[in-house]
A and B are shown apart, each in its own frame.
Chain A
């Protein structure tokens, strides 16, 4: 009747995992830096084993590739800014626990709207008005693209992760369609640089620097996003809704209203990123104008714990690695394909994602545990 335990001696689990109370910020950053360093070593080993290339040379080439000359440095800064703005865009929604992974689509429709304005209104309206139209259309397009899943989330609790994901591919095919419709030589899907000679609707150079304006705009938005999230009533409501919908209802926040307002902001910022990409960088529309930023930005935002200022750091890190790794491919003394960058960035990101565990949890080993007890 009584099942007798089969074990002869008592076995104790080797360790068990407990949640940490809190960890000093410097310890958390030490863990993160350690993770990046380990990842770099892993990448070096993989490089050596897989390609036979000298990893030290590779890292040198990477560093050189990222900041080797002033054009590269400016490119690095601009791309950081462009990734950062998308990161900022998805953050309010994430803080609200609305998993907007549709930034890609929202950026693309922003690009589409900007291109539409450039093609349609150039020469018909003054340049200043053109810019206003471009920005307005981009903001609205991005906002609408986010609003659709937002409304269904608010009213029917439709899964927003899956919904926004689907919206990406609708946007992508929509852009592909217009690339075809607007292409110069019918059928090759290439629109070509818009207003190549007049540069109408192009973001103007500042002090002779074509990157600066983009960077300034994003810098301003970064500060604004920080203030909005931390010091505004809206930002406060976002935090409350994200933490506990019950509390939000208890204090009389209209949860649906906040969800819709926040996804509108999130989408509009993505649309603005689309505007910057077309008007400030590419001056044309292609299906890969967005460059995977929609997804990378999610990682940027999450790694920075939704803090806009930390996001500067995380987006810089990722762009630095990407840029460097791409340049590695063209380095003469190394023979690596430029897709190697995705692998390098991927490994480092996976390590950073993994290291959060050691910040949030503590592994208690049995023997050490007892020692601690004795001390106490």
Chain B
């Protein structure tokens, strides 16, 4: 019995851990999309968020006096700042200058991943290491710390308390976003802006302000996802965050624009991503030849497409993308 429980906990912990960058990215993208902006720059935002945190951690680690609190705080602040700048660039172009959102987003992704890779590679050069990635073991150890007593609390304790604090942060952020969207005035206004900016405008809502704030806050949350990924891998390695950014966009659809559903979706995606590697650990009598991991990795995207098709076929108004998604708003258009 406990053997099975152990397995469940192992699988679940693995899935949560894998899904967490996606959850951060997806929560950020949901509030961005709720304001009517499809930010395809999320992979770039996550990359910049990740590299900002990693670079800061890397340098702080080398400083003489180290302090655990600052070791946590500084990288997080750097992450938020880095992704905020990306969010601002996107906003300025799409909200103020009304540029095409798809084009801007894709350019931002190229740009952001380029920044990530550039600094990743430059720091390797600086540190004269032979490694292919920037290591921040000390910092990630601090971030990976879990409650010491969790394992002593038995099954329930391990199931609920054995994760890193960023996991709880991710879940809480998603829940808060869900609450704000559904139950507060700010959320109501945000939904109105994304559905029908002209109406929101007529109702006296500052449309551009909402678009700016939601896109920037969304970017900052997504940036945390990038940093989480780096912590998990103990450092930066080039080109690895991008796929998580696209998965985050997929998860938005899968969760039909609801951050609370995205929590479960992220666990499912995390599970699907690593399912292949988990199979041996589960000691099940199923054997897939090596290489089939690639096929397993398709599954989240296929599932997302199925959800997209079903929601468009059912035409339930509440489950559709925000009506003005991807469109610029100009008050005097006629």
A and B touch in the complex (CB under 8 A): yes
Which residues of A does B touch, CB under 8 Å? 17-19, 51, 99, 101, 152, 156-159, 161-163, 165-170, 173-174, 176-177, 180-181, 186-187, 292, 295-296, 298-299, 302, 335, 337-343, 345-347, 349-350, 353-354, 356-357, 360-361
Are the CB atoms of A340 and B110 closer together than 8 Å? no
Are the CB atoms of A170 and B301 closer together than 8 Å? yes
Residues of B within 8 A of A156 (CB): 309, 312-313
Whether A343 contacts B312 in the complex (CB less than 8 A), given A298-B106, A337-B121, A337-B125, comes out as no
Q: For the complex, what is the distance from the CA of A337 to the CA of B100, rounded to whole Å?
A: 30
Residues of A within 8 A of B302 (CB): 166, 170
Are the CB atoms of A169 and B298 closer together than 8 Å? yes
Q: For the complex, what is the distance from the CA of A177 to the CA of B246, rounded to whole Å?
A: 19
Q: Tell which of A19, A166, A338 touches B250, judged by Cβ atoms closer than 8 Å.
A: A166
Are the CB atoms of B321 and A159 closer together than 8 Å? yes
- Check B45 for interface membership: any CB of A closer than 8 A: no
Q: Output the least CB separation between A148 and chain B (Å).
A: 9
Are the CB atoms of B298 and A170 closer together than 8 Å? yes
Q: Output the least CB separation between A103 and chain B (Å).
A: 11
Q: Output the least CB separation between A35 and chain B (Å).
A: 11
Q: Output the least CB separation between A233 and chain B (Å).
A: 28
Closest 7 CB pairs of A and B: A342-B114, A346-B111, A180-B291, A357-B97, A339-B117, A177-B294, A158-B312
Q: For the complex, what is the distance from the CA of A170 to the CA of B309, rounded to whole Å?
A: 16
Residues of B within 8 A of A343 (CB): 111, 114-115, 118
Q: Output the least CB separation between A256 and chain B (Å).
A: 15
Q: Tell which of A99, A162, A176 touches B249, judged by Cβ atoms closer than 8 Å.
A: A162
Are the CB atoms of B99 and A356 closer together than 8 Å? yes
Are the CB atoms of B118 and A346 closer together than 8 Å? no
Are the CB atoms of B110 and A339 closer together than 8 Å? no
B106, B122, B297 interface centre (most CB from chain A within 10 Å): B106
Q: For the complex, what is the distance from the CA of A168 to the CA of B92, rounded to whole Å?
A: 28
Residues of B within 8 A of A177 (CB): 291-292, 294-295
- Check B283 for interface membership: any CB of A closer than 8 A: no
A174: nearest residue on chain B (CB-CB)? B298
Are the CB atoms of A173 and B295 closer together than 8 Å? yes
Are the CB atoms of A299 and B321 closer together than 8 Å? no
Are the CB atoms of B294 and A342 closer together than 8 Å? no
Residues of A within 8 A of B130 (CB): none
Are the CB atoms of B308 and A162 closer together than 8 Å? yes
Q: For the complex, what is the distance from the CA of A193 to the CA of B100, rounded to whole Å?
A: 40
- Check B317 for interface membership: any CB of A closer than 8 A: no
Are the CB atoms of B253 and A162 closer together than 8 Å? yes
- Check B243 for interface membership: any CB of A closer than 8 A: yes
Residues of A within 8 A of B313 (CB): 156, 158
B321: nearest residue on chain A (CB-CB)? A159
Are the CB atoms of B308 and A159 closer together than 8 Å? yes
Are the CB atoms of B321 and A354 closer together than 8 Å? no
Q: Output the least CB separation between A128 and chain B (Å).
A: 34
**Chain B 299-334, CB within 8 Å of chain A: the 1/0 string?**
001101100110011000000010000100010110
Residues of A within 8 A of B115 (CB): 342-343, 346
Whether A357 contacts B290 in the complex (CB less than 8 A), given A152-B309, A169-B301, A350-B107, comes out as no
- Check B109 for interface membership: any CB of A closer than 8 A: yes
Whether A166 contacts B305 in the complex (CB less than 8 A), given A292-B110, A350-B93, A353-B99, comes out as yes
Q: For the complex, what is the distance from the CA of A295 to the CA of B41, rounded to whole Å?
A: 12
Are the CB atoms of A158 and B309 closer together than 8 Å? yes
Q: For the complex, what is the distance from the CA of A133 to the CA of B111, rounded to whole Å?
A: 38
Are the CB atoms of B298 and A350 closer together than 8 Å? no
Q: A166-B304, A167-B301, A339-B120 are in contact. List 19 more A-B contacts (CB 8 A).
A: A19-B332, A51-B122, A101-B102, A156-B309, A158-B309, A158-B312, A158-B313, A161-B102, A162-B253, A162-B308, A169-B250, A177-B295, A298-B103, A337-B118, A346-B107, A350-B89, A354-B92, A354-B93, A357-B96
Q: Output the least CB separation between A309 and chain B (Å).
A: 20
Q: For the complex, what is the distance from the CA of A202 to the CA of B332, rounded to whole Å?
A: 56
A16: nearest residue on chain B (CB-CB)? B332
Q: For the complex, what is the distance from the CA of A163 to the CA of B104, rounded to whole Å?
A: 19
Q: Tell which of A19, A159, A350 touches B108, judged by Cβ atoms closer than 8 Å.
A: A350
Are the CB atoms of B99 and A339 closer together than 8 Å? no
**Chain B 6-39, CB within 8 Å of chain A: the 1/0 string?**
0000000000000000000000000000000010
Whether A180 contacts B107 in the complex (CB less than 8 A), given A163-B308, A337-B125, comes out as no
- Check B171 for interface membership: any CB of A closer than 8 A: no
**Which of B170-200 touch A at CB < 8 Å?**
none
Are the CB atoms of B121 and A339 closer together than 8 Å? yes
A177: nearest residue on chain B (CB-CB)? B294
Residues of B within 8 A of A17 (CB): 330, 332
Are the CB atoms of A169 and B312 closer together than 8 Å? no
Whether A346 contacts B243 in the complex (CB less than 8 A), given A159-B321, A170-B298, A173-B295, comes out as no
Residues of B within 8 A of A19 (CB): 330, 332-333
Residues of A within 8 A of B98 (CB): 357, 360-361
Are the CB atoms of B294 and A176 closer together than 8 Å? yes
Residues of A within 8 A of B40 (CB): 101, 165
B118: nearest residue on chain A (CB-CB)? A339
Are the CB atoms of A187 and B99 closer together than 8 Å? no
Are the CB atoms of B89 and A342 closer together than 8 Å? no
- Check B84 for interface membership: any CB of A closer than 8 A: no
Q: For the complex, what is the distance from the CA of A156 to the CA of B314, rounded to whole Å?
A: 9
Q: For the complex, what is the distance from the CA of A184 to the CA of B95, rounded to whole Å?
A: 51
Residues of A within 8 A of B301 (CB): 166-167, 169-170, 173
B290: nearest residue on chain A (CB-CB)? A187
Q: For the complex, what is the distance from the CA of A156 to the CA of B313, rounded to whole Å?
A: 6
- Check B113 for interface membership: any CB of A closer than 8 A: yes
Residues of A within 8 A of B100 (CB): 302, 353
